[in-house]
Structure formats: C-alpha cells, structure tokens
C-alpha cells in the first residue's frame, strides 16, 4: 500500500505556477495530522463512544488524507468508517489502533516530499 502519492496533490492544479498551493496544502495536512489522528483515536476508544463524533472525526481524516495523497491513511480511514457505519465497535477499535503508526509513516513521507520540492 502506498503511504503517500504526491501526484494526487499535483492533480489539484492545472498550472505549475500554482505549486505554492500544493505545498501549502501538504504542509497544512502535515501540521494537522497528529491532532486529526488523536481525535479519531480518542473518539473511537472512548468508553462510551459517541458514534457521531467518531464518524465526523474519521470522515475528516479520510477526506483530507485522500485529497493530499496519504493513501494508506485514507484506506485505513475507509475501513474504520465501514466498521462505524455497521456499529461494529470491536472492529472499529481494532482498526483505529493502526492509524497512529500509519500517520507516522505518512508524516515522514510528506516531510521528505516537502523538503525535496523546497530544495528542487
């Protein structure tokens, strides 16, 4: 599974001069990544999980990860969403534990991408 595919970001702009938009989007995603993942984990693992908060948190992560090209995270969030939609809390709780390491991998890949395009 691909951790991060920057071509997804590049598809958002038609003009290469809009590169700053792509970099800003990737940087914003990176800065917010830890908080987004923590929100999902907290919501799903809460003793009395709030289904609406859990779904809102996972959809926020899924959409932003998809738009940014963080494919592994987007896929994991999709599986988590499916578990939440069927109210399968044990599966959701098992799935949510995979998010932090995947977020770490995505963060490393995005940092490398940002460093590479800043230099290049």
Nearest to 36 by CA among 12, 4, 3, 65: 65
User: What's the confidence (pLDDT) of residue 118?
Assistant: 63
Question: Helix %, strand %, coil % for the chain, to 5?
Answer: 80, 0, 20
Kindly state the tokens that stand for 73: 């995270």
Per-residue pLDDT tens digits for 23-71: 899 999 999 999 999 999 999 998 676 888 999 999 999 999 999 999 9
Domains belonging to the chain, first-starting first, are 7-119 (1.20.120)
User: What's the confidence (pLDDT) of residue 40?
Assistant: 96
């Amino acid at each position: 599974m691909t951790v991060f595919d920057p071509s997804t970001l590049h598809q958002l702009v038609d003009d290469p001069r809009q590169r700053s938009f792509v970099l800003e989007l990737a940087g914003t995603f990176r800065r917010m990544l830890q908080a987004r993942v923590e929100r999902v984990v907290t919501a799903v693992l809460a003793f009395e999980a709030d289904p609406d908060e859990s779904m809102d948190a996972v959809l926020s992560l899924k959409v932003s990860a998809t738009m940014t090209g963080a494919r592994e995270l987007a896929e994991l969030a999709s599986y988590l969403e499916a578990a939440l939609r069927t109210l399968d809390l044990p599966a959701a709780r098992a799935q949510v534990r995979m998010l932090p390491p995947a977020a770490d991998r995505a963060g490393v890949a995005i940092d490398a991408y940002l460093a590479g395009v800043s230099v290049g």
